[in-house]
């Protein structure tokens, strides 16, 4: 650390640091990621509020009871919940510095995530085939926006997962990769919590209307 001196107009010396104090590598990453998650919370809160206002406006079109298959949605929900469990196993293996086991559990997590996206896309395709397109009613517009935004987040999470698996394969469980895996863990569990809200607020309550 270097200390320099300067003079005020009154002739009194003033001391200041020329070199900034050291910061631990990645020390601001977690704070920045928490800020990002909070912004995502606001986005989903707005989408939930929008659905709450528009979700009952069917415009003489199909209602949730006509469109939703709760058994299929329950299977889809289980895919995402299981993916969170397997990601937790990956983090436990990471703590023990087992690269192979960590990669294996991450791969299983990715497969569950792909299954979730596949089922959701098939649901969307079936609804559109039945004429229940986003422009059909305010209910469908808000539904596709909310559920589709969540699906996009899961898709980006899968891309992130594959990228991290490649990084771990090349460089191992370095401190930077551990930190990145921890950030993805928070993101993945956050998507789980949001989906539970979607399943309850959109699908279950929609069937009760």
- Rounded Cα–Cα distance for residues 138 and 124 (Å): 16
Question: What are the extents of the domains in the chain?
Answer: 29-41+50-208
CATH number of the domain at 29-41+50-208, please? Answer: 1.20.120.80
Burial class, 7, CB count within 10 angstroms (exposed 0-12 / middle 13-18 / buried 19+) = exposed
Q: What is the pLDDT of residue 28?
A: 67
DSSP 55-110: TT--TTS--HHHH--HHHHHHHHHHHHHHHHHHHHHHHHHHTT-HHHHHHHHHHHH
pTM score, whole prediction: 0.86
Give per-10-residue mean pLDDT for the chain (209 aa): 52 56 62 93 97 94 94 96 98 97 98 98 96 96 98 98 97 94 97 97 91
């Amino acid at each position: 650390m270097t200390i320099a001196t300067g003079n005020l107009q009154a002739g009194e010396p003033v001391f200041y640091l020329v070199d900034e104090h050291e910061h631990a590598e990645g020390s601001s990453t977690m704070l920045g990621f928490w800020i990002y998650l909070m912004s995502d919370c606001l986005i989903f809160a707005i989408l939930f509020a929008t659905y709450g206002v528009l979700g009952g406006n069917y415009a003489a079109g199909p209602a949730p009871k006509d469109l939703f298959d709760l058994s299929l949605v329950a299977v889809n929900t289980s895919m995402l919940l299981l993916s969170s469990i397997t990601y937790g196993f990956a983090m436990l293996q990471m703590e023990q510095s087992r690269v192979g086991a960590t990669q294996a559990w991450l791969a299983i997590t990715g497969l569950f995530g792909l299954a979730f996206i596949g089922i959701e896309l098939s649901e969307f395709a079936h609804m559109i085939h039945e004429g229940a397109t986003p422009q059909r009613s305010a209910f469908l517009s808000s539904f596709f926006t909310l559920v589709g935004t969540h699906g996009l987040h899961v898709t980006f999470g899968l891309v992130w997962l594959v990228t991290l698996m490649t990084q771990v394969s090349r460089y191992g469980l370095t401190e930077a990769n551990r930190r990145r895996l921890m950030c993805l863990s928070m993101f993945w569990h956050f998507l789980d919590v949001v989906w539970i809200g979607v399943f309850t607020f959109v699908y279950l309550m929609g069937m009760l209307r």
